[in-house]
Structure 1
Amino acid sequence: MILAVTMNPSVDISYPVDRFKFDDVNRVETVRKTAGGKGLNVARVIAQMEEEVLSTGVLGGTIGDYIVQELNQSNIPNDFLKIKNESRNCIAIIHEGMQTEILESGPTLSKEEGTAFLEKFEGLLTTASLVTISGSLPKGLPTHYYRKMVEISRNKGKPVIVDSSGESLKQVLIHEKKPFAIKPNTAELSQLLGFKAEAGIMDLKQMLNHEIFKGIEWLVVSMGDKGAFVRHGDDYYQVTIPKIEVVNPVGSGDATVAGLAVALNRNQAVESVLKTAMTTGMLNTIEAVTGFIDINKFKQYFDLVKVEKID
């Protein structure tokens, strides 16, 4: 079973309007509300891949209740820690070919709530075979919180995929107990190392050979329509994807993590792992709904992904 962690989930609300009027009334006829957050997208795609998954994290208030209701309706097993404060809404206003986002920062957790979730997390690991940790930390938790989760997981022999950024990711990487895999994009890689990540193969090889990544089995650098550049152990791979018509790119990174998690959990060969991860990412971009793939199209797109080992 894959344990998918979302520490700062949300209800994602989409408001499509023909023309966004400032300092005036904007009426919306069609509203879409979904249980959001990177880890929830991961859990949904894992479930659509017909792999056993359990979604966890922290939730509070009526918004938290709505998220649980949505997950239950989608038949996604979940076990969250209930917290005192209300979970967050994230609003996207779709207008004139643009998207304006209004993102609530979310609840502030107490020290006691942070400790309580770590205890819950350790208990859930008993039945987990692999862990994914995705997205930002809520306020109140220290930047080394994910590091603690990775350490707990590693101590129990459970591999962890971390998809985060900034200081919380850096804290994970500088610790002696490393995650099994990370999936930064080029911007996040640049932020992490303090200099711009170029798209050239030699530059990327040099960056992924940085001391901070020592001990990590899988480094998957997502590069949008250019595919991905990957270091697995001491080997490097360039993964290319076909040109596709993008409908909604939001959540494609989460879908990639889901595919990576499923393939690793099934102990697939290297090429199959990389092709699966890229395929689920692509399938998300051709659907209007975030964190959704049409599994019936999987083989068609899987066969179009190319993996080349780089000497």
Structure 2
Amino acid sequence: MILTVTLNLALDVTYEVPSVDWDGVNRVGAVHRRAGGKGVNVARVLAALGQEVLVTGLAGGPTGRAIEEDLRAARLPSALCGIAADSRATLAVCETGGPAPQETPGPRETAGGRRTALFNEPGPEVTPAELATFVRHYTSLAAVADVVVISGSLPRGVPADIYATLADLAGVPVIVDADGDPLRHAPKGRPSVVKPNAKELARAVPGGTPDEGARALRDQGAESVVVSMGSEGLLAVTGEGTFRARMPYTVEGNPTGAGDSLVAGLALGLVESEPWPERLRRAAALGAAAVAAPVAGEFDRDVYADIHPQIVIT
């Protein structure tokens, strides 16, 4: 079983629009509302791949109840910890590039490509007592997991070194996907994999190349560091050597959730003890296939099947 941890759970709302007019009225073509947060997206992808998953995290208030209801509707097993404050919502506005509903296409609507704007609320305030309860709860869940994935931002009131603490307590391989101070502290917990993107790595270890930054995080305690670099693929600095996954072409679409699909591939590689080249090839293909899907937590199986064998590992 793969346990995914999302301390800052969210209700993700995605608007699909032909194009955004910031000075006028925008007609939404489609609306998606679902439980979100990075760990939930990871769990959705893993479940679609036939893996046993369990979602945990902090949820409270009406938004928290909506998150729990959606997890049940999606048949994603969960064991959440309740808090008093209301959980957050996020909004993604995705330009589809097509004509507005029941309208004549105009120049902006027929332009190629898609863009996505993200609006993320900060999250609830978590008390020390609520966090202590969660840590005890998490420890019992991790004891029966094969791999733990800890990812996403932190709600208010949670210390920046919590991911290092949770990684240290797990007793099984752990993947940490974080930004800012949580990323900087994460290697102290000796996780199996730390997965920043290029910008997150540069913020955590400023002034160096991606290779140098990844090695710095390894020197601080992370067993391996995998850096996602968008269309340039992946960089992995591991105990077995340094690997690069190079993409054959760029997939255009909604990048929201691409990193989470990539992490799902890394988690599956840990469970199956795959060699690093195959682990990276699958992870990179899942990340690219997620860009082609309109909603985070999904991936386009046709894109995955096409791009997977073309990814070059060096």
Tell me the TM-score range normalised by the shorter chain.
0.7 to 0.9
Structure 1 contact 284–292 (Cα < 8 Å) conserved: yes
- Cα distance in 2 between the residues matched to 1:131 and 1:238: 24
- Cα distance in 1 between the residues matched to 2:92 and 2:60: 22
- Cα distance in 1 between the residues matched to 2:45 and 2:115: 26
Deviation (angstroms), 1:303: 1.0
Q: Does 1:117 align with 2:117?
A: no
Match of 1:172 among 168, 173, 186: 186
74-83 or 188-197: bigger deviation = 188-197
TM-score, structure 2 as length reference:
0.87
Alpha-carbon RMSD: 2.1
Deviation (angstroms), 1:304: 1.3
Identical aligned pairs, as a percentage? 33
Structure 1 contact 62–86 (Cα < 8 Å) conserved: yes
**Match in the other structure for 2:196:** 184
Q: Summarize the Cα distance change of 1:30–1:212 in structure 2 as closer, same or farther, 3 Å threshold.
A: closer
Deviation readout 1:8-37 (Å, 9 max, x if unpaired): 011111234555455x76564642212121
Q: Does 1:92 align with 2:92?
A: yes
Q: Does 1:135 align with 2:173?
A: no
Q: Summarize the Cα distance change of 1:275–1:25 in structure 2 as closer, same or farther, 3 Å threshold.
A: closer
- Cα distance in 1 between the residues matched to 2:89 and 2:217: 38
Match of 1:144 among 154, 158, 161: 161
Match of 1:240 among 242, 246, 260: 246
Q: How many residues align?
A: 296
Deviation (angstroms), 1:299: 4.1
Deviation (angstroms), 1:134: 0.6
Q: Summarize the Cα distance change of 1:263–1:48 in structure 2 as closer, same or farther, 3 Å threshold.
A: same
Q: Summarize the Cα distance change of 1:297–1:100 in structure 2 as closer, same or farther, 3 Å threshold.
A: closer
Structure 1 contact 49–295 (Cα < 8 Å) conserved: no
- Cα distance in 2 between the residues matched to 1:19 and 1:242: 30
**Match in the other structure for 2:10:** 10
**Match in the other structure for 2:111:** none
**Match in the other structure for 1:68:** 68
The alignment partner of 1:34 has SS state of: strand
- Cα distance in 2 between the residues matched to 1:126 and 1:8: 22
- Cα distance in 2 between the residues matched to 1:246 and 1:270: 26
Which structure 1 residue ranges, 5 or more long, are not aligned? Answer: 198-203
Superposition pairs of residues 1-311 of structure 1, within 5 angstroms: 1-17=1-17, 19-22=20-23, 28=28, 30-94=30-94, 98-153=115-170, 157-173=171-187, 175=188, 177-197=189-209, 204-210=210-216, 213-295=219-301, 298-308=304-314
Deviation (angstroms), 1:47: 0.7
